[in-house]
Structure 1
Amino acid sequence: MFDQVNGLPVHALVLHAAVIFVPLLALGAIVYALVGKWRPKIEWAVVLLAVAAPASTFVAKESGEKLYDRLLGLGLSGKGKELLDEHMSFGSKTFLFSLALGVVSLVLVFLTRRGGLPKIAEWALAAVVVILAGLSAYYVFRTGDSGATAVWGQY
């Protein structure tokens, strides 16, 4: 399922969704958490991105593992294997942090929409959102950069 489509690696086809959706979720979640008056306007986008970003990173991670296995079967070793091992490690962290950000964002939307959330709890959730957004953005960058280095080399 995550291996190939018409002979092309699925990973090459889907990775760009994660590169777009994760930073958009990070930005949207931060704005939602910190700018109360914008919440009604961006709520729908945060909810959609809270699902799309982790889903896209999951598909990218799984398809990347299939591609990695295919390359190992073709004799991948040495420096190339080391680069891809690092890339896969970053990809796993990107998935975990984007999933955590998605869940916390959904919780924040649900609780603030209901109203009555104590300010201290709202600020605590906002702090968690900002931290997870920063980590998600950092790891999506590191994953992309390490993947580009593995494919194209350092220039």
Structure 2
Amino acid sequence: MDSVNGLPLHPLVVHIVVVMVPLAAVFAVLGVVWPAARRKLGIVTPIVAAIALAATPIATSAGESLEKKTPPSAVLERHTELGDQMIYFAAPLFVLAALWWVHTSAWFRENEWVAGRVPALTRGRSQTVITGVLAVLLVVDAVGAVVWVYRIGDAGARSVWGG
């Protein structure tokens, strides 16, 4: 299926990625730098990141289908190449957001079953190291994902509207 009611599927689905990736990135960064936001957002951040991740290959596949019906150009080729790489930002964003949520969730810290199985994640110096590494990786990937969405969108707009 590459169209909906005669409209190409790609521009419809790509807007899910364009909204959800930056939203997940903002939620992730807020969760890292602002504990109150982390508590309020809770599992919402990994859910938004999961939606972004699920929509990414659908948008890519629909884009490849649309590309076959579009006259070739260097700008379109660049857009396609950048789009193919989005999964390398969306997947880590989801994984890191989920790990961050699990690692910082009060429920996981207080649950004896989890605490008994993974004591390194629940207390002590190793928690500080893990927290720092996860925080840095999450923020770096979140920023990279937003930049990548911008680059893809810019190339896509140029391929459609010229420039």
User: What TM-score do the two structures reach when normalised by structure 1?
Assistant: 0.88
Give structure 1 regions of 4+ aligned residues with deviation exceeding 6 angstroms.
none
Structure 2 unaligned residues grouped into runs of 5+: 110-121
Are the equivalent residues in 1 in contact too, given 2:82–2:152 (CA < 8 A)?
Answer: yes
Deviation at 1:42, TM superposition (A): 0.5
Name the SS of the counterpart of 2:142 in structure 1: helix
Alignment of 1:81-100 (within 5 A): 82-100=74-92
Q: What's 1:121 paired with?
A: 130
Instruction: Determine which structure has more spread, i.e. the larger CA radius of gyration.
Output: 2
2:150 equivalent to 1:141: yes
CA displacement, residues 68-90 of structure 1 (integer Å, 9 cap, x when unaligned): 1232xxxx23xx2x111110111
Deviation at 1:44, TM superposition (A): 2.9
**Aligned equivalent of 1:153, options 131, 151, 162:** 162
C-alpha distance in 2 between matches for 1:22 and 1:51: 9
Structure 1 unaligned residues grouped into runs of 5+: none
CA RMSD after TM alignment = 1.4
* Aligned residue identity for 1:127: V
C-alpha distance in 1 between matches for 2:93 and 2:84: 14
* Aligned residue identity for 1:141: Y
Q: What's 1:49 paired with?
A: 48
CA displacement, residues 18-72 of structure 1 (integer Å, 9 cap, x when unaligned): 111111011101111222232220113202212111112222111101111232x
Are the equivalent residues in 1 in contact too, given 2:10–2:66 (CA < 8 A)?
Answer: yes
What is the aligned-residue identity percentage?
32
